[in-house]
Amino acid sequence: MSTDPLSPPPAQALSSRIRTAVLCIGIGFLALLLRLWFLQILEGDRYFALSTTNRLRVRPIEAPRGFILDRHGEILVENRPTFDLFVTPEDVTSPAEVAAALAEILGVSREEVEARLQEGRERPYQPLLLRKDLDERTMVAVEERKLDLPGVSLRVRPVRAYPSGGIAANLLGYVSEVNQAQLSREEFQDFRPGENLGQAGVERRFDAFIRGLDGGEQVEVDARGRALRLVSRIEPRSGSNIYLTIDKRIQEAAEAAFAGKRGTVVAMNPTTGEILAMVSRPSYDPNLFAQRISGDEWQQIATDATHPLQNRAFQAQYPPGSIYKLMVAIAGLESGALTPETKFNCPGYFYLGNAKFDDWKKGGHGTLDLRGAIVNSCNVYFYQAGLKVGIEEMVRVSRAFGLGEPPGLGLGDEARGNLPNPQPRRRGQPGWSAGNTVVASIGQGLVVTSPMQLLVMVSAIANGGTIYRPWVVKKIAALSGETLDEYDPEAIRQVSIKPETLAFVRQAMLGVVSEGTGARAKVSGIPIAGKTGTAQVVRKGEGKGQPDLKDHGWFVSFAPVDNPQIAVVVLVENGGFGGLVAAPVAKAVYEAAFAARQPFARTGTAEAKEPEIGD
């Protein structure tokens, strides 16, 4: 016992310590009460919401995309059910273990799964798509191990299906998951990671109508993210159906006739601008994109030297070759530089000074008038006709018929083509020469067009001079069948041209098929007007033995000649003479178009001797 006179008595010291302890405890309880008051009264709503969020999950239900159908209601694009694998990052209690298990099930590296999980950390409560379109083996494996996979779930959803595979693929487009680059842009701020988006063609252009309105369900989950009960559900609303101007039967015939070729086939109603068929080759199977295509697979398609993603009908451009002779003929007749009786001799070559320009036919065609020159596609005739008409008039008429400007289809970037500018060039460069005019007169040199531009041009020749904007969507309809929007023909302008000029050119084009270079397009009972063309890729004599440097083959046409209902343009890349490779493709299209369903009248046509095929 202490004997210090300054020490308080033992009982007094104990009492002091008790008071101090009670005071500390009291202060602690007071602080706790203040904290509870702050949390429950001032911040109560906020923390209640956080608590609710922690046990409730909102699961989006993807709306089925609308169908895409042809003009007769035949399905071109539909949906099929598929099972997808999702994960909600917030519910993954052991990321490393879950990543390892998923890697084993999916047959990928753990690092790949972890990287995918990391993508969802910015939106931890948002379900993240891991794998689309699971096969049966994978679904069974996930179900068997679901207790070891907190936050992982299987969901059924509609996925895009293209029942005919690659038919009209470049026109229809494809659907794939919205990518990170798109998600970073303001226009896609309402999209979720893993959500689908139309990426090309009709799927992209009309995505806002096709995609519909997603629904969702609110589900209560336990601490491991497992569903306990459904709290609420909002049903998704299906997207609208898109009816195209395409005729599936004509499309299939064009696809079959063009098998094994590169280039394009396009058919249009020349009196309305409605596209009836559109083939672009090489192409792709859009079903590949309906699944989660790998980066390597995408790179293989995107970097393919044959450009399968390009729609050659309106995004590619080529020298028109002898097709351009139609513009030279019209320019000559309209300006008075030529008449139907204008004659030139063709010995098989033409000299301009010391420069020699050959005809496609060795030995030449002899003396021809304008009709004969068109029917036989005589180069030498048009060398001389072009010099007489002049490049300015040729270009003026070409622009009037839609060359040198985008056709306005509205399905993505469109090739403008090119027309010569005869104005003096920049200092130090040679000016326009007569030789340039000679080359341009047969659609070479600086004359470049897209197949769609030539389709608009030949349609105007067929219909009396009206330039129509080409279009592919006939109407948009709700799931109930109610028409939401309907599209009508749009005449851009009327070409100022004498009726007798067009009548003459149409009859000359009729001769091309009945007795000239386009005879392989002939269909019994259907008067077809056409023009063949062969466009050089390199100088004559160069590139022999190299298939990719072989000439392009063209054929433009319409029928019936006196009541045109369909115009067809065929371009075969590196195919050679248009009369040999392109005209037979057009024939198959006409045979399909004039079958029983189409009300096209068949009339008699005179038989003619078998012509020499060229150009």
Q: Mind telling me the catalytic residues?
A: 322
Write the CB contacts of 203 (distance below 8 Å, at least 6 apart in sequence): 68, 77, 160, 172, 173, 174, 175, 210
Interatomic CA distance for residues 562 and 603, integer angstroms: 11
* Closest listed residue to residue 158, CA positions, set 82, 212, 216: 82
Radius of gyration of the CA atoms of the chain, in A: 36
How far, in Å, CA of 236 to CA of 242, rounded?
19
Convert 125-140 into a string of H (helix), E (strand) and C (coil): CCCEEEECCCCHHHHH
- Whether a cis peptide bond, with omega within 30° of 0, leads into 282 is yes
User: Helices 391-400 and 325-335 meet at what angle, rounded to 10?
Assistant: 110
Single out the residue of 236, 237, 170, 238 nearest to residue 204, CA to CA: 170
Distance CA 170, CA 122 (A): 36
Which residues pair with residue 534 across a beta bridge? 553
Q: What's the number of CA atoms in the CB half-sphere (13 Å) around residue 601?
A: 8
Identify the CA nearest to 538 among candidates 530, 528, 525, 548. Answer: 548
